[in-house]
Structure 1
Amino acid sequence: MKVNEDTLNMSIRKFLKKVGITSQREIEAVIRKGLEDNKLNDKGPLQVSVRLQLPDLNLDHLITGKIDLD
C-alpha cells in the first residue's frame, strides 16, 4: 500500500492544529479559574503533560513540560 504523502501531511497538520488550539484554550481557562479561586499562590512553573495515542498502531507517547506563570 502506498500513502499519499500530501494527504497524510495535511491530515496530521489539521489534527495537530486542533490539538494545539483546544489545548491552549483549556489550559488558559483552568489557569484563569485557578487564579480566581486563589489556587495558584506560587508563581512557579506548572507541570503539564499530554498523552499521544494511536491505538491501531500501538503508539502511546507521553509528552511532558512546564508552563511558566511569571
Structure 2
Amino acid sequence: MNEEALNLSVRKFLKKVGITAQREIEAAVREGIESGKLTGNESLKAVVKLEVEGVDVAHQIDGEITLE
C-alpha cells in the first residue's frame, strides 16, 4: 500500500464531502428561513454517518449547527 496515495485520496474525498455538505446545509437553512420553518436563531442537530465498503468502517459523528 502506498501511504501517500492513500492520504491524498482520503483528503480529496473529505474535501469533496466538506464542500458538498456545506453547500447543502447552507441552502437548506436559507430555504427553511424563507419558508418560515426556521427563524434564524436556532441550533440544529447534525449527524454524519460514514461507511466505507470493503473495510469495517461505520462511524457516526454528531454535532450542532448554530444559526446565530
Indicate whether the TM-score tops 0.5. Answer: yes
Identity of aligned residues (%): 50
Q: Distance in 2 between matches of 1:21 and 1:44?
A: 22
- Displacement of 1:43: 1.6
Unaligned runs of 5+ in 2: none
Question: What count of residue pairs does the alignment treat as equivalent?
Answer: 68
What's the TM-score once normalised by structure 2's chain length? Answer: 0.93
- Which 4+ runs in 1 deviate beyond 6 A? none
- Tell me what 1:17 maps to: 15
Residue 42 of structure 1 and its aligned partner are, at CA, apart by 6.4
Q: Say whether residues 1:33 and 2:31 are aligned partners.
A: yes
Gaps of 5+ in 1: none
The CA distance in 1 between the partners of 2:29 and 2:58, in whole Å, is 27
Cα separation, 1, equivalents of 2:32 and 2:55: 37
Q: Give the conservation status (yes or no) of the 8 Å contact 2:45–2:64.
A: yes
* Distance (Å, rounded) in 2 between the aligned partners of 1:4 and 1:42: 46
Matched residue SS, 1:40: coil
Does the residue aligned with 2:62 lie in a helix, a strand or coil? strand
TM-score, length basis structure 1: 0.91
